[in-house]
A and B are shown apart, each in its own frame.
Chain A
């Protein structure tokens, strides 16, 4: 997969298949710490200890007759960029997957069209409460679909107009904060981090 937003979609599809009703995605870019981090937390079925140990194995899956590749691919992408992945889970207690990347690593994949991933998730799972949080250094942007649904009343959250509104908001915020990341990244490189 060419960008991280596709890995995110893949792993969140796992959460949906695990019957999660609430899913939180946090993407953190901290150029001071040279960190790019993706954290996905859900309240789905969770995994037992054996499943957690096996989760990075591409030939392991809890799905009948299928191969689970979402976590192994994300783990590979993290390791290729000088990072790591951690999984916290328990049967019936949901799952948290955290993938850390070295922000300025030459092999770190770009985030890609994250707004398209989010649009697909909301369109396909209007019943799920999603929280999407973006952090770029001290800047922060949060979308809570439970709040949006409350405000919309009878209008479904997967209405095309609502989804386009959410997509445009994310795209604009990422554009507005892009220069700050470039500037800080240059500064950290010059300072030898």
Chain B
């Protein structure tokens, strides 16, 4: 490949880069959020009924092994969406998020100590309130760990969408490749990395802030 180094590309394209970054975040984060919202009830069902668990958890594993390229090209055919619809990328990303999180949510809910749920029931919590007030908060640390993996993967997977024309920063990579513009490619790759790290750090921090009990020193008080 005959690469030249058009450094001036960078200052001339700040607007384009900012727009692509914004699009990238929108494409990646919305499906992660949607995936989380869908995974919680699925994980709840899987933790509650062994039969559901036996189906859902392996199914999630299988979904995650589908190559992203295949999923991204198949979804528009299955959904009948237009060629440039963001859903073409967002639906596959949501599927990957669900595939990751169903297992996390299930495991996290199953790990809530039996005597804690029994005590909550005996105290007079109704099942829905008990789930929201006791089981879900206790599952947060494990769910956040899963969410961080899902969010970081979504950042890189979004770039694959560039192959069907919707890829945020991925679009800059393919464009840079076509135009022999190494700077454009490097900038896009670096930005994907940076926003992935920032999102990961923000989730880690948010997870710590909402679970103060996990940070206390263990052991007897004197």
> Are A and B part of the same complex?
no
List B residues at the A interface (Cβ < 8 Å).
Answer: none
